[in-house]
Amino acid sequence: MTRAVILGTGSCLPERILTNAELEQMVDTSDSWILSRTGISERRIAGPGEHIHKVAAQAARRALAAAQLTPADVDLLVLATVSPHMLMPSTACFVQAELKAFNAFAYDISAACAGFTYGIDLASKYICAQPDMKVLVIGAENLSTRMNWQDRNTCVLFGDGAGAAVLGNAAEGEERGIFGAKLQSDGRLWNLLYTEGPPSMNKDLQLPDWKGPYIQMNGSELFKNAVRLMEGAVKELLAQHHLDIADIDLMIPHQANIRIVNNLKERLGVSADKVFTNLNRYGNTSSASIPIALDEANREGRIRPGDLVLLCTFGAGLTWGALLLRW
Ligand code: UT7
């Protein structure tokens, strides 16, 4: 049976740490508000030369090294982002050039925070159709470039970074691999979280109330939807696979807010030791949040061979879902 499997993971974070104490000097906020309302203590902000494709390429190199593969082995490079280097061409093409992965075709996907999980599902389906393919999936963001640093509602929440996974076909008889995903979107709720582009050069299409190319967010509505929709996706996916939440060895949720994670954990009945979080150190890195967490969990030995791992994701669009894999 053909089944896609994660062969290696990698991540890369910019050097510069921006602490809550520093944010106190920038906007009307406090360390105690940020920590108690979100669980975030610090985040990384890209500095000189740390363009999204450079950080993404470094995460990819680490994933390839872990898989004992080279850039020349990659057949497809998919990069999820909502903060691309340019509108055109794709950031995936910039990463391809950085890596010298010239045997690959490359493109971006835009599914906000759910982008990496959508990408893993996509890679899994390519591999099922063409088992000799090696697919590199990257989630990468430079959200600091899209931030209104005067808006305390958003600027305390997000961070920069990249994570990657390389996938191939499971060996004959192997039980591990991607079992399945339950992915969903609801474009009717687009205005809960969005970033407009630059002003339109076509005056007929210029939005009358253009707010600038910054992240705009309705935090409390997002919060409620995040918990409810991720819970629904997880329950549906588990039911499809005749599994119970107790069968899961590790849950890696989108790292947006520790209160969302705790709510989800309680509703699903997952014990605390089975939930991986690192948002305290990185904030919300959108499409990079799950792959960075997956890589850290992997490198810290939190995932053992044979473990059943559950990814749950939620973001702008709205986009959300859950994905199950055996390590
Ligand atoms: O990755 C995509 C998915 N993202 C999410 O799902 C994010 C979901 N939302 C959240 O994480 C939370 O809603 C937030 C952290 C954004 C906000 O937390 P909250 O407990 O929902 O607060 P709130 O929006 O209800 O605001 C409460 C108060 C407001 O003041 P008033 O109107 O009650 O006087 C805000 O102005 O907190 C105020 N506030 C702040 N105060 C200090 C908002 N941001 C800040 C801040 N520092 N940085």
Q: Which of 169, 284, 298, 312 is catalytic?
A: 284
Index of the ligand 1 atom closest to the CA of residue 254:
1
Q: Residue 7: which pLDDT band, with cuts at 50, 70 and 90?
A: very high
Question: Which entry of 254, 257, 278, 312 is annotated as an active-site residue?
Answer: 254
Pocket test for ligand 1, best of 153, 155, 231 (most atoms within 8 A of CB): 153
CA dihedral 142→144→145→149, nearest 10 degrees, is 170
Q: Counting runs of H as helices and runs of E as strands, what totals does the chain give?
A: 10, 13
Which residue, judged by its Cα, is nearest atom 38 of ligand 1?
A: 153
Ligand 1 centroid, distance to 196 Cα (angstroms) = 21
Helix (H, G, I), strand (E, B) or coil at 250: strand
Q: Is 51 an active-site residue?
A: no
Which among 141, 164, 133, 171 is positioned nearest to 64, based on CA atoms? Answer: 164
Pocket of ligand 1 (CB under 6 A): 29, 33-34, 37-38, 113, 152-153, 156, 193, 219-220, 222-223, 226, 256-257, 260, 284, 286, 314-315
| Residue 193 β-bridge partners | 217
Classify residue 232 as left (phi > 0), alpha (psi -120 to 50) or beta.
Answer: alpha
Pocket residue to mutate for ligand 1, from 23, 220, 225, 277, most atoms within 8 A of Cβ: 220
Return the minimum-mean-pLDDT range out of 83-87, 99-103, 204-208, 222-226: 204-208
Q: Measured in angstroms, how far is the CA atom of residue 153 from the centroid of ligand 1?
A: 6
Average pLDDT, rounded, for the chain: 97
User: What's the pLDDT band for 173 if we cut at 50, 70, 90?
Assistant: confident
Predicted confidence at residue 257, as pLDDT, reads: 98
**Rg of the Cα trace of the chain?**
19
Confidence of residue 2 (pLDDT cuts 50, 70, 90): confident
Q: How many other C-beta atoms are found inside a 10 Å radius of the C-beta of residue 187?
A: 8
CA 173 to ligand 1 centroid distance, Å:
49
Where do we find the tokens 């990069």? 79
Is residue 1 predicted with pLDDT exceeding 80?
A: no
CA distances from 236 to 21, 183, 242 (A): 41, 10, 10
Cβ 201 vs Cβ 235: under 8 Å: no
Q: Given pLDDT bands bounded at 50, 70 and 90, which one contains residue 268? A: very high
Of the candidates 113, 257, 263, 298, the residue annotated as catalytic is: 113
Position 97, amino acid: A
Helix axes 289-299, 115-129, angle to 10 degrees: 70
Residue 315 CA: nearest ligand 1 atom is 2
HSE-up of 42 (CA within 13 Å, CB side)?
12
C-alpha 73/C-alpha 51 separation (Å) is: 24
Q: How far is the CA of 184 from the centre of ligand 1 (A)?
A: 25
User: Using CA atoms in the order 107, 109, 114, 117, what is the torsion angle rounded to 10 degrees?
Assistant: -40
User: CA-to-CA distance for 126 and 300, rounded, in angstroms?
Assistant: 30
* pLDDT at residue 211, as a whole number: 85
Residues contacting 204, CB < 8 A, separation 6+? none
| Interval 10-19: pLDDT, tens | 999 999 999 9
In tens, the pLDDT along 105-160 reads 999 999 999 999 999 999 999 999 999 999 999 999 999 999 999 999 999 999 99
Write down all domains in the chain, each with its CATH number in brackets: 4-169 (3.40.47.10), 177-326 (3.40.47.10)
Q: Whose CA is nearest to atom 29 of ligand 1?
A: 153
Residues 210-239, mean pLDDT to the nearest whole number = 96
Q: How does pLDDT run across 181-216, given as a tens digit for each residue?
A: 999 999 999 999 999 988 888 989 888 888 889 999
For 176, other C-beta atoms within 10 Å of its C-beta total: 18
Q: Is 113 among the residues known to form the active site?
A: yes
230 three-class SS: helix
Residue 1's contacts (CB-CB under 8 Å, 6 or more residues apart) are none
What distance in Å separates the CA atoms of residue 156 and residue 18, rounded to the nearest whole number? Answer: 10
CB 315 within 8 A of CB 286: yes
Higher pLDDT, 315 or 172: 315
pTM for the whole structure:
0.97
Most ligand 1 atoms within 8 A of CB, residue of 26, 37, 318 to mutate: 37
Residues paired with 106 in a beta bridge: 77
Determine whether 128 is an active site residue: no
Which one, of 181, 171, 141, lies nearest residue 284 by Cα? 141
CA distance 243 to 139: 28
